[in-house]
Amino acid sequence: AVSLALTPTAPPVSSATPTLLPTPSLTRPPTATPTATQTPFPSATPTATPPPVYRLLAQERLCFPAGEAPLIEVNVLNAFLDPLPGVAVVVEWDGGRDQFFTGFKPAGGPGYADFIMALDTSYRVSLPAGSPTISGLRAEPCLDGGPDDLSGWQLTFQNLIIPTETPESDGG
């Protein structure tokens, strides 16, 4: 017979080498990308166009004798048809602009100003304080003048604002 002898053995000793587990990464669930919306711009509030301060009272073609420069003559009157000095006048043409004032030529009167025209040029005249623009003014041969006479223009503007008198203070 065989006899077996059991020899007790010590349980295996584990070494203390930790096993690192992967760090969990948090993945966010997909979210909807916001759609760009256009913000409307504020719209301009319509306002009434103020009436012009001046109106064209008269437009007349003039004939200048040969040798005289053709002019745009401007006369500016107040509401009572009296000459009005110191009013700005603008003359424009393709590639140019000039501004001048009434009242600097005493022979023409306090409401008078003029501008020398060139041939083959179309001019526009306005008063910056508020007037219609008069366009298509050209120096051309006069139909009822001599063969070398040139036409110019006379424009008369009237101020539409009637001045109101303010009471004078008596000083106390």
What residues does each domain of the chain span? 54-159
User: For residue 143, what pLDDT is reported?
Assistant: 82
**CA dist., res. 144 & res. 151, Å (int):** 10
- Amino acid letter, residue 31: T
User: For residue 51, what pLDDT is reported?
Assistant: 72
User: For residue 16, what pLDDT is reported?
Assistant: 55
**CA dist., res. 167 & res. 98, Å (int):** 39
Structure tokens at 41: 């711009």
User: For residue 10, what pLDDT is reported?
Assistant: 54
The answer to whether 156 and 58 are in contact (CB under 8 A) is yes
Sign of CA dihedral 114, 116, 122, 128: negative
User: For residue 20, what pLDDT is reported?
Assistant: 55
Task: List, for the chain, all residue ranges whose pLDDT scores fall below the cut of 50.
Answer: none
Q: For the whole model, what pTM was predicted? A: 0.67
In angstroms, the Cα distances linking 138 to 40, 122, 154 are 47, 5, 12
Domain 54-159 has CATH 3.30.70.890: no
User: For residue 41, what pLDDT is reported?
Assistant: 65
The CA-to-CA distance between both ends of the chain, in Å, stands at: 150
